[in-house]
Amino acid sequence: MTETQNRWTTNSLFDALKEQELFAGRSATIELLEGVDPVLQIVMKEFGDLPIFLTASGDQIIVESVLWSIDEVLDVNGFNDAILRTHKYFPLSTISLDSMGSNGDYYHMFGALSSSSLIENIVFEIEVLASNVIQATEAYGEFLTIPVEAS
């Protein structure tokens, strides 16, 4: 981001992030997905090819990853209660339940930053989110219909 630029956009972040060690060193890949609202798809190689999505819009940047479908949860009420009581243990991230249209409802883990954040803080958010997704999957595995392998 230049000094005259107030905020990151998804496109400007794509150009800046691909120069960062996380991507230049091949620990992760990054792709710009064009559309009405462009989004960055990041694949975290060191986290089992975990997909992360990043968008910058207005005053904020959202970094998120899909956890699992509501259909993959054995006890939705118990799971939601557990999340509300424990999600604070995942630094810089929280969990939401979002509709994915005809695909149904999915739990997401996300972090939000100011669109004027330093590039180093954005990279840090991406790395922390990846770690938190893995930890959340292990922590909440008992609520899921799919087996979770501990790392």
**pLDDT tens for residues 70-100?**
999 999 999 999 999 998 899 999 999 999 9
Q: How many domains in the chain?
A: 1
Is residue 148 pLDDT above 70, yes or no?
no
pLDDT of res. 2: 46
Is residue 150 pLDDT above 60, yes or no?
no
User: Per the domain annotation, does 150 fall within a domain?
Assistant: no
User: Per the domain annotation, does 1 fall within a domain?
Assistant: no
Looking at residue 90, the DSSP 8-state letter turns out to be: S
Tell me which residue of 80, 40, 78 sits closest to 62, measured CA to CA: 40
Which CATH number covers residue 131? 3.30.1460.10
User: pLDDT per residue over 35-57, tens digit each?
Assistant: 889 999 999 999 999 999 999 99
In Å, what is the CA distance from 135 to each residue of 38, 60, 111, 113?
28, 25, 15, 21
Is residue 64 pLDDT above 80, yes or no?
yes
User: Per the domain annotation, does 81 fall within a domain?
Assistant: yes
Q: How confident is the model at residue 151 (pLDDT cuts 50, 70, 90)?
A: very low
What mean pLDDT is predicted for residues 118-131? 97
User: Range of 74's domain?
Assistant: 10-143
